[in-house]
Every structure is written in structure tokens, then in C-alpha cells.
């Protein structure tokens, strides 16, 4: 299985940078293609900062992404 990298942290969704990258990491991890280097930081680090800013829980976002919801 080949590894896949998430999109750039500079990509934006409705003016919010980094969020699309976090969603990519969730999808790629669910597909089993996220490089091991990223695993310890899922939902933590900058992901965690963004989630706290938005006032949402990582597991809630992950459930929606894995269920196939769009980035919007």
C-alpha cells in the first residue's frame, strides 16, 4: 500500500486555512495510506489548536469525514 500526503496547510475553505489539510489527513488515515510520521499528531498539535479555535471535538469531525461528508 503506497503512502499519500495531505494537501498543503495553506489551502483554505471559506477563508479558513489548514482545515482542508486536517480533513485530508483523516481521510488518508482511514484509507490506511497516511505516513506513520503523521499518526502521533492526529487531532493534536496544530489540528488541536484549530479544533479548539472552532470549538469542536476531533472525534466528531472524524466521524463526519469518514462518513463521507464534504469539506464544507
Note the pLDDT tens digit of each residue in 21-69.
Answer: 999 999 999 999 999 999 999 999 999 999 999 999 999 999 999 999 9
Is the four-CA dihedral 38, 12, 20, 58 of positive or negative sign?
Answer: positive
Q: What count of other Cβ atoms lies within 10 Å of the Cβ of residue 41?
A: 12
- The distance of Cα 8 from the centroid of its chain, to the nearest Å, equals 11
Task: Give the C-alpha separation, 14 to 63, whole Å.
Answer: 21
Is the pTM value of this prediction over 0.75? Answer: yes
Q: How many residues does the chain have?
A: 72
Contacts of 36 (CB under 8 A, 6+ apart): none
Instruction: Band the pLDDT of 1: cuts 50, 70, 90.
Output: low
Amino acid at each position: 500500500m503506497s503512502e499519500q500526503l495531505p494537501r498543503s496547510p495553506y489551502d483554505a475553505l471559506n477563508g479558513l486555512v489548514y482545515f482542508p489539510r486536517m480533513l485530508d489527513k483523516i481521510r488518508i488515515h482511514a484509507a490506511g495510506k497516511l505516513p506513520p510520521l503523521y499518526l502521533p499528531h492526529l487531532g493534536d498539535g496544530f489540528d488541536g489548536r484549530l479544533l479548539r479555535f472552532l470549538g469542536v471535538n476531533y472525534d466528531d469531525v472524524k466521524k463526519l469525514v469518514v462518513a463521507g461528508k464534504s469539506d464544507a
